[in-house]
Amino acid sequence: MGPIRLDKWLWYARFYKTRTLASAQCRARKVRLNGNITNKANTPVTIGDVLTFPQGHHLRIVRITAIGTRRGPATEAQKLYEDMTPAPVTESRPEKAPVAPRLPGSGRPTKAERRALDRLTNPFDDEKA
């Protein structure tokens, strides 16, 4: 099978929910084809091309292994590409420090303290209608 439109392939491979979203990413110059930024959704892609694009908060790198003929189920879509995205680097975080006890008078006032403040700021407003 010959080349296919970039937005159509991204939609077939289920990287974007709609073809409109896929073409919008292409027009926004967020998709790279073999390292070159593409700004057209109708850019032809073939088997062996490498795509780099953002998906959520992650950067995806995929190699096209097949050209789809339809937008099928997820199992069929996963056969269209080889995921070359590097594994996320997990940093070892230090354990959380113990929380210090809350000192009285710090932080948000309690309901009783708020009422006392209201009485101080509005001494003649005892009876509210």
Q: Distance between CA 104 and CA 53 in Å, rounded?
A: 52
Average pLDDT score over residue span 4-28: 93
SS3 45: strand
The half-sphere exposure of 89 on its side-chain side, counting CA atoms within 13 A, is 1
Q: Where are the domains of the chain?
A: 4-83
10 pLDDT above the threshold of 90: yes
19 pLDDT above the threshold of 80: yes
pTM above 0.75, yes or no: no
Domain 4-83 grouped into CATH 3.10.290.10: yes
Residue 100: predicted pLDDT:
65
Residue-wise pLDDT tens digits, 102-127: 676 677 888 998 898 888 888 777 66
Residue-wise pLDDT tens digits, 28-52: 999 999 999 998 999 999 999 999 9
How many C-beta neighbours within 10 Å does residue 45 have? 21
The two structure tokens encoding residue 104 = 């009285």
Residue 33: predicted pLDDT:
93
Average pLDDT score over residue span 57-84: 92
